[in-house]
Amino acid sequence: MNRLEALFTRKKERVLNVYCTAGYPQLNSTVRVMKALQENGADLIEVGMPYSDPLADGPVIQASGSKALENGMSIDVLFQQLKNFRKEIYVPVILMGYMNPVLQFGFEKFCQYCADAPVDGLILPDLPEHEFESEYGAIIRRYGLNFIFLVTPETSEERTKKLDSLSTGFLYAVSSSSITGSDKDFLPVEAYLDKLRKLQLKNPVLVGFGIKDKHTFDTACKHANGAIIGSAYIKALENTANLGGATKSFLDSILK
């Protein structure tokens, strides 16, 4: 049983996945931030690999990615930082990023490095389903990595079921067809999540985009297995020298 399966076997509800940007706020913050998240209640950590053209990311995560790139972050540097991270980090870790830099690095080499680290899975929002099925999925499976697809309120029932069948670990339910970090009314989201629940999908469902505080986390958790927080946490790390303290304060405000 891999770490993601073990997590969702042990914990069926209120699973908290927190997104952080590799190399932010400082180049060497990555593992320190992950450790702070683990120590303060994150069940799962999603590490964003910064990219110059991040299609799904809102202004806060884009700015953190730009800063990380300025700091010197790259996929090579990230894997150097993750070399011995399992001595300290035991929660599941997934890498989130975009195909262009992964292809430049070399897709199979990337998966090999992920397995060696080891990280537990990948989110690559711009990897098309047909390319996953025809080419990349086999490589991902060869290296024992989970792959998580995203669905939105506009994804048809048939396609949602298909993406669920291709995903392993969990299914990422985007709360609306907008960028990360945007403010929105949560009532339509609740109706959408109830619709997803009625489909009886094989994977646990985590909700992302717009989850920013205790209210939105609690609301999402009423309708799904858990939720993903990104922009709000990145904001909490702005202009602080105390990563541990800022992380504790932020996660306490969500979980307590």
The whole-number pLDDT of residue 13 equals 97
The whole-number pLDDT of residue 152 equals 93
The whole-number pLDDT of residue 213 equals 94
The whole-number pLDDT of residue 56 equals 65
Neighbours of 213 (CB within 10 A): 13
**Regarding the domain delimited by 3-255, which CATH topology (the fold level of the hierarchy) does it fall under?**
TIM Barrel (3.20.20)
The whole-number pLDDT of residue 181 equals 47
Domain ranges, ordered by start, for the chain: 3-255
CA torsion, ordered 54, 60, 61, 64, to nearest 10 deg: 110
Q: What is the pTM of this model?
A: 0.94
Residues 6+ positions from 19 with CB-CB distance below 8 Å? 46, 47, 48, 61, 96, 208, 228, 229, 230, 233, 234
The whole-number pLDDT of residue 179 equals 45
**21 near 50, Cβ under 8 Å?**
yes
Residues 6+ positions from 103 with CB-CB distance below 8 Å? none
The whole-number pLDDT of residue 177 equals 52
**26 near 191, Cβ under 8 Å?**
no
The whole-number pLDDT of residue 190 equals 85
Neighbours of 108 (CB within 10 A): 13
Neighbours of 63 (CB within 10 A): 17
pLDDT per residue over 94-124, tens digit each? Answer: 999 999 999 999 999 999 999 999 999 999 9
The whole-number pLDDT of residue 57 equals 73
Residue ranges, the chain, pLDDT below 50: 179, 181
How many whole angstroms from its chain centre is CA 27? 20
The whole-number pLDDT of residue 242 equals 96
174 forms beta bridges with 208
DSSP string of 184-211, one letter each residue: --SHHHHHHHHHHHHT--SS-EEEESS-
The whole-number pLDDT of residue 184 equals 54
Return the active site residues.
Answer: 46, 57
